[in-house]
Amino acid sequence: MVLENIAKERRISLAALIAELDSKRGESLLASFCRLSALAFVQGRATIKRKKV
């Protein structure tokens, strides 16, 4: 769901997002890199919301 939200926000398909993450992951497993990317996205959102309050 988070990856879908990232793709939607960036106006790209989920498949395009996964392909982009795959090209950037280096030696990491794709599933692990996707989870870390999703976590970074959510944490970034939380930081932005806290600054607005």
> How many angstroms from the chain centroid is the CA of residue 20?
10
* Structure tokens that stand for 28 in this block: 């990491």
Q: Per residue in 1-53, pLDDT tens?
A: 999 999 999 999 999 999 999 999 999 999 999 999 999 999 987 776 666 65
| Residue 6 CB neighbour total at 10 angstroms | 20
How many domains would you assign to the chain?
Answer: 1
The pLDDT value given to residue 44? 87
Contact status, residue 3 vs residue 14, Cβ threshold 8 Å: yes
pLDDT at 22: 96
Other beta carbons within 10 angstroms of residue 34's beta carbon come to: 19
48: containing domain:
2-52
